[in-house]
Amino acid sequence: MRDKLHWRCFADAGAVAGEALARIDSLSRQAIEARGCFRIVLAGGTTPERVYRQLRALDTDWSRWHVLFGDERCLPADHPDRNSVMAARSWLDLVPLPAGQVVPIPAELGPQRAAEVYEPLVREALPFDLVLLGIGEDGHTASLFPGHEHPDDRLVVPVFEAPKPPPQRVSLNYPALCATRALCLLATGAGKRDALRRWRAGEDLPVARLDCPVDVLLDEAACEGVVSGAD
Ligand code: 6PG
C-alpha cells in the first residue's frame, strides 16, 4: 500500500493549488479527448476552495464535465457550511457547466436516505477520472472517520456521530473513492503534520484505507518533519 503513495512538497498553499489545477487541467483534457467527458469527485472542507476559485478561468469545454461530491454534511441544501454550496459559490455557479451535470449529495434528506439516493448515481458514474480529497487532523478523509466501520459493499454510506461537526454526514466509501483513474489528496498547514506522519508510519487511519494510488500534494508547513521533497 505504501508503494501506492506519491508525496510531493510545495512551497506554500498557493503552489499546492497551482499543482492541483495543472493536474485537473491535464486529466480533464485527456478524459475529454479519450472518452468525451470528465468525471470529477470534489473534496469538501476549506483546503480545495483555492483550487475551485482558480478553476473559474480554466479554458475547457464545461459541457463535458460531470461533477460529484466525495461527501456532504447533513444540512439544508443552501446552508453555507455545505460542501456543495462552497463549490457552487467559488466555482460551479460561475461557469457554464450544465446544471444536470453537477450532482450534489442530497444530504438534506438525512444520512440514510441520502446515501440510498446517491449510491446508484455513483455506481453509474464509475470509474471516475479524478477524485479530490482532503485529510483531517485525526486522519479522516471525506467523511470517513476513525472508529467508524462501513460495509465494503456500499459505495455511499451514512455517517452518524461524526467528530467533525455536523455529526450527520454522507460519504463515498473507500471502494468508491478508489474507483478512479487518479486520486489527489491536498493537505496544507502544520495542523495536518501529525496525521500525515501517522499515515506514513502505517497507522490504520481512515486515509490509510484508501487501497489505490494516491498523489499527496503538501505545502512546506505540512511537509516539515514528515516528507523531504518527494517520495
Ligand atoms: C468535510 C470534508 C473533510 C475535509 C477535511 C479537511 O466535509 O469537512 O470533506 O473531509 O476534507 O476535514 O478539511 P480542511 O480542508 O478544512 O482542513
**Residue 111 pLDDT greater than 70, yes or no:** yes
Contact 145, 159 (CB under 8 A): yes
CA distance 44 to 142: 7
Q: How confident is the model at residue 228 (pLDDT cuts 50, 70, 90)?
A: confident
Contact 17, 50 (CB under 8 A): yes
Nearest CA to ligand 1 atom 10: 142
Residue 34 Cα to ligand 1 middle (Å) = 32
Residue 120 Cα to ligand 1 middle (Å) = 24
pLDDT above 90 as % of the chain: 96
Residue matched to cell numbers 495536518: 192
Domain ranges, ordered by start, for the chain: 2-209
- 142: Cβ below 6 Å to ligand 1? yes
Helix runs in the chain, H state only: 13-35, 49-55, 83-90, 111-125, 174-177, 193-200, 220-223
- Beta-carbon contacts of 145 under 8 Å, excluding residues fewer than 6 positions away, are 136, 138, 159, 162, 163, 164, 206
Q: Write the class of the CATH domain 2-209.
A: alpha beta
- 104: Cβ below 6 Å to ligand 1? no
pLDDT, tens digit (0-9, with 9 covering 90-100), for 30-72: 999 999 999 999 999 999 999 999 999 999 999 999 999 999 9
Confidence at residue 231, expressed as pLDDT on a 0 to 100 scale: 80
Q: Is the dihedral of CA 18, 23, 24, 25 positive or negative?
A: positive
Residue 20 Cα to ligand 1 middle (Å) = 16
Bridge partners for 9 per DSSP: 218
Three-state secondary-structure class, residue 69: strand
Residue 200 Cα to ligand 1 middle (Å) = 19
Q: How confident is the model at residue 19 (pLDDT cuts 50, 70, 90)?
A: very high
pTM: 0.98
Nearest CA to ligand 1 atom 11: 134
Mutate to test the pocket of ligand 1, among 16, 46, 177, 214 (most ligand atoms within 8 A of CB): 46
Residue 135 Cα to ligand 1 middle (Å) = 6
Residue 36 Cα to ligand 1 middle (Å) = 31
